[in-house]
Amino acid sequence: MALLVLGLLIWVGAHIFKRVAPEQRAAMGDTGKLIVTVALVISIGLMIWGYRGAAFIHVWSPPSFMVHINNLLMLVALFVFGMSATTGRLRGKMRHPQLVSVKIWAVAHLLVNGDLASIILFGGLLAWAVLEVIIINRAEPVWNRPQPGEAKKDVLLVVITLVSFVVIAAIHAWLGVWPFPG
């Protein structure tokens, strides 16, 4: 559990460092980018290692129908995440699509996982995403909304979302976590 918490703390620190100390971060130049990247990779490794190695401590039992809600929310999360890269009509509909996606992803996983390690991991990342949006919005209150592009790019986003969902479901199955009710 300690590795999981350490990974979360490094993740939050590496992301928020740029926001709370922008001058110091800018002064570090490319070296700073490398340090943050290495810290994020280490944090992901620690979160995975800590989560997989954590003892199962039961907190609550999610009802079985939550799996359906989780899967629907995961499709939405992937779609919203993709909105950050789309050049279609949906571009600019949401200010923080990646962070909103993390929030949806975290809530979806909290709905189907009732153990302490899951609550720490997904709840911690949910709290980070909320905090990050607040910090960004305070630092940059004005948002210049990008102009929408072509609708056919949104169709591509739907296709990429569906393919991504299948790949992620396959990875979960490969790891021994069957993501569909049976």
116 in the same domain as 77: yes
The total number of structural domains that make up the chain: 2
Q: How much is the pTM?
A: 0.91
Query: Does residue 114 sit in the same domain as residue 97?
Result: yes
Q: Is the pLDDT of residue 182 over 80?
A: no
Quickly list DSSP for the chain: -HHHHHHHHHHHHHHHHHHH-HHHHHHTHHHHHHHHHHHHHHHHHHHHHHHHHS---B-----TTHHHHHHHHHHHHHHHHHHTT--BTTTTS-S-HHHHHHHHHHHHHHHH--BHHHHHHHHHHHHHHHHHHHHHHHH-----PPPP-BHHHHHHHHHHHHHHHHHHHHHHHHTT---S--
Residue 88 structural domain: 57-182
Q: In terms of domains, do 49 and 62 share one?
A: no
Judge if 103 and 162 occupy the same domain. yes
- The reply to whether 71 and 33 lie within a common domain is no
Q: Which of 3 and 173 is assigned the larger pLDDT?
A: 3
**Model confidence pLDDT, tens digit, residues 130-181:** 999 999 999 999 998 888 888 889 999 999 999 999 999 999 889 888 888 7
Q: Using one digit for the tens of pLDDT, what is the confidence trace for 62-103?
A: 999 999 999 999 999 999 999 988 888 888 889 999 999 999
